[in-house]
Amino acid sequence: MAGFGQGCDAIVFEVTSNWPQYRNARSNTLTEQLSHGIEETNYSKYLAFNDLVTLEKGMRAERDDYKTALSVTYRKRDLLLGLMGGRCNQCGTLQFPRSDICVNPQCHATHSQTPHSFRDEPAQILSWSADYLTYTADPPSHYGMITFDAGGRFMTDFTDLEPGEIEVGTRIKMMFRIKSIDSQRGFVRYFWKGVPERVPERVPERVPERVSERIPERASESAGSV
Amino acid sequence: MATGIKDKVAILGMGCSRFGERWESGAEELMVEAYTEALADAEIDSSQLDAAWFSTHYQEISVGKGGLPLSVALRLPNIAVTRVENFCASGSEAFRGAVYAVASGACDIALALGVEKLKDTGYGGLPGSLPGTLNAQWAATGSAPGNFAQLASAYRAKHGVSKEDLKHALAHISVKSHANGAKNPRAHLRKPITEEAAINAPMIAEPLGLFDCCGVSDGAAAAIVTTPQIAKSLGKEHLVTVKALQLSVSNGSEAGHNSWDGSYFHTTRIAGSKAYQEAGIRKPRNEVSMFECHDCFSITELVTMEDLGISPEGGAIKDVEAGFYDADGQVPCQIDGGLKCFGHPIGASGIRMLYEMYLQLSGRAEDRQLPNPSIGLTHNLVGSPSQNVAAVCIVGTAG
């Protein structure tokens, strides 16, 4: 993969003999991610989400979150990009984020944690709300506390859901997403969001059929229909 | 061996600005309004102040940082001014600084003043805070209503309460506070509301509607404290003394460890029980005459009633619906209208709560006066259910 523009970047990928082992240990193949997602069919939302129309976002959207501290982005890259937390080797508690002092009130051991990935850990909702006040591109903003079956918890944004769809106990899967975009400085921040676990067959019917199957229908639709 | 704060410090005077949308006043004018009333109530002049503690949270939309803004606005006599900031507990922190200075013998008379000028943001609701360089890159979206609303889903799940029953109890809480605020000339919101209006109000953060959320207002409040001996020598009668001052701060366990169930405030329970111990109170439900708790949202007040040990675990809804916390109930809560009617100028709220307790204990609360109160409790809460600071202060008649 190469990109050219004010210089040239090239990234070379090579599939090694480790691939099958990695593939089998993961549940997040591209196919699975796509089948888990909710396809947005509203064209106006598409334009809005991609900043292709100028929107009045309200004064709360105007807050400047300041320049992303890149030294922090680098230092905490395993947390931010890999959803890496910690496991205390004194008490076994899984915790996110990883820290120098164990979060378990009965432990508090220092420098006792090894990295532990939360990416594939099963989780469920402990508490949630649908927030109509805070700025979000896709209101209301759903967020809440999730607890991981094996231990650990944190507050997370929820996405790919409709109001009324989640409750205490809803099973959650973590997905890697864009967290926010600093449009003033042209910088994208990435993190993870919680998505309700769905059996692929039960993905809502909004997912359209393949484009090639729609073309014959389109020719017969009257002009001006929305 | 520490002996606690009980009866070591007395309130010499207090002042409180009118809270509300004070378009005509900046933070400087609000500070002077509260201060001049406190000085007059204390019957001293500024040369008698030894030190001051200054509480304000959003310096970026208000007066800026440090202790200078207070000293300059009030033309203080070049005494020490310490700015303290602990979000919504800042007012209690300022009071605590002044009280400890007097109790230690380092000062004779100290001032605590809190102010917040929120209406200059130009939009409704509390402005967001920057959470720090790392948290900004991963912490979940949050607003005050959405964060506190988390309590509702967890409380319902734990106690098996239906959405309708919870919403009804929350409505009663707001109706009660509005009825009290209607009698308070300093409150921002002074109109009674109905339960129907509260239940059907526009949704802010599920399940909290407009009337479940306190207002966003400007305001300032001040307290002047001294020893009981100095107060008496200055001619002050019917002394109100500090019985307890406790804070408890989260250490990450609620947010990161699976021991907390999401339905209560761990820090309120700790600060509350330490405060009762310091004040010598064994049965809060029977011994607390009245209290102001941090009703930023109706759900916060509901769980706080249990966290302060006044309602039993899971029993707050029953008490609320029975009128236990109403003005004519056994333990009136938010007798001045609370954050609900005053709004929440963050730096000022902790001291505004004390102002009402002080007036009630001095028999000067006019239309809102309760019959012979002896113990008043204030509770300030910071942050969100999973990470917070709780400040509990108990004041009472001396002796």
Domain chopping of chain B, boundaries: 10-120+218-233, 144-210+239-397
Provide CATH code, domain B144-210+239-397. 3.40.47.10
- The whole-angstrom distance between B212's CA and the closest CA on chain A is 13
Q: Helix %, strand %, coil % for chain A, to 5?
A: 20, 30, 50
pLDDT tens-digit series, residues A134-158: 989 889 999 999 999 999 999 999 9
In the numeric block, the tokens 């009663």 are attached to B172
Element (H, E) at B205: strand B203-205
Cα–Cα distance for residue pair B229/B236, rounded to 1 Å:
10
Could you say which of A63, A103, A167 has the minimum Cβ distance to residue B253? A103
Cα–Cα distance for residue pair B340/A152, rounded to 1 Å:
35
Question: What residues does A187 pair with on adjacent strands?
Answer: A182
Q: Which of A94, A99, A129 to mutate to test the interface with B (most CBs of B within 10 A)?
A: A129
Residue A201 has pLDDT above 60, yes or no: no
Residue A25 has pLDDT above 50, yes or no: yes
B47 burial (CB, 10 Å; 0-12 / 13-18 / 19+) is exposed
Radius of gyration for chain A, computed over Cα atoms and rounded to the nearest angstrom: 21
With bands split at pLDDT 50, 70 and 90, how would you rate the model's confidence at A218?
very low
pLDDT, position B29: 97
- The whole-angstrom distance between B244's CA and the closest CA on chain A is 26
- Does residue B88 have an active-site annotation? yes
Q: Which of B178, B266, B294, B344 is catalytic?
A: B344
pLDDT, position B98: 98
Q: Which two tokens stand for residue A67?
A: 């320049």
pLDDT, position A88: 98
CB A195 within 8 A of CB A159: yes
Could you say which of B123, B153, B386 has the minimum Cβ distance to residue A155? B386
Element (H, E) at B359: helix B346-361
Cα–Cα distance for residue pair B182/B184, rounded to 1 Å:
6
Q: By percentage, how much of chain A surpasses pLDDT 70?
A: 85
Q: Which residues of A touch B154 (CB under 8 A)?
A: 126-127, 145, 168
With bands split at pLDDT 50, 70 and 90, how would you rate the model's confidence at A27?
low
Cα–Cα distance for residue pair B76/B71, rounded to 1 Å:
5
Amino acid at A116: H
- Does residue B344 have an active-site annotation? yes
pLDDT, position A223: 45
Cα–Cα distance for residue pair B346/B70, rounded to 1 Å:
16
Residue A128 has pLDDT above 90, yes or no: yes
Q: Which residues of A touch B137 (CB under 8 A)?
A: 68-69, 72-73, 76, 80, 179, 189, 191
pLDDT, position A219: 41
Cα–Cα distance for residue pair B107/B99, rounded to 1 Å:
9
Q: Which two tokens stand for residue B46?
A: 């500024």
Interface touch B157/A128, C-beta < 8 Å: no
Output the CA torsion sign for A141, A54, B132, B95: negative
Q: At what angle do helices B298-307 and B144-159 cross, to 10 degrees?
A: 50
Q: At what angle do helices B298-307 and B266-279 cross, to 10 degrees?
A: 50
Could you say which of A99, A147, A163 has the minimum Cβ distance to residue B258? A147
pTM for the whole structure: 0.90
Q: What is the mean pLDDT of residues A22-51?
A: 78
Element (H, E) at B317: helix B316-321
Cα–Cα distance for residue pair A181/A204, rounded to 1 Å:
28
With bands split at pLDDT 50, 70 and 90, how would you rate the model's confidence at A208?
very low
φ/ψ of A149, rounded to 5, equals -55, -40
- In this structure, the strands spanning B51-55 and B203-205 are unpaired
User: Mind listing the pLDDT tens digit of every residue in chain B (399 residues)?
Assistant: 999 999 999 999 999 999 999 999 999 999 999 999 999 999 999 999 999 999 999 977 778 899 999 999 999 999 999 999 999 999 999 999 999 999 999 999 999 999 999 998 888 888 877 788 899 899 998 889 999 999 999 999 999 999 999 999 999 999 999 999 999 999 999 999 999 999 999 999 999 999 999 989 999 999 999 999 999 999 999 999 999 999 999 999 999 999 999 999 999 999 999 999 999 999 999 999 999 999 999 999 999 999 999 999 999 999 999 999 999 999 999 999 999 999 999 999 999 999 999 999 999 999 999 999 999 999 999 999 999 999 999 999 986
Question: Same topology for domains B10-120+218-233 and B144-210+239-397, yes or no?
Answer: yes
Q: Which residue of B has its CA nearest to A157?
A: B140
Q: Which residue of A has its CA nearest to B123?
A: A59
pLDDT, position B398: 86
Cα–Cα distance for residue pair B226/B240, rounded to 1 Å:
11
Q: What is the mean pLDDT of residues A174-182?
A: 91
- In angstroms, what CA-CA distances link B214 with A132, B109, B297, B305, B325? 16, 34, 6, 17, 18
Say which CATH superfamily domain B10-120+218-233 falls into.
Answer: Thiolase/Chalcone synthase (3.40.47.10)
pLDDT, position B213: 97
Q: Which of the 8 DSSP states describes residue A200?
A: G
- In angstroms, what CA-CA distances link A52 with A45, A61, A184, B394? 10, 17, 15, 57
**ipTM value > 0.85:** yes
Q: At what angle do helices B298-307 and B163-181 cross, to 10 degrees?
A: 90
- The whole-angstrom distance between A167's CA and the closest CA on chain B is 8
Radius of gyration for chain B, computed over Cα atoms and rounded to the nearest angstrom: 20
CB A193 within 8 A of CB A157: yes
Interface touch B146/A129, C-beta < 8 Å: yes
pLDDT, position A221: 43
Q: Which residue of A has its CA nearest to B129?
A: A65
Sheet holding B51-55, edge to edge: B80-84, B51-55, B109-116, B219-226, B10-16, B240-249, B387-397, B375-384, B290-292
CB B206 within 8 A of CB B299: no
CB pairs under 8 A between A and B: 144
Interface touch A153/B125, C-beta < 8 Å: no
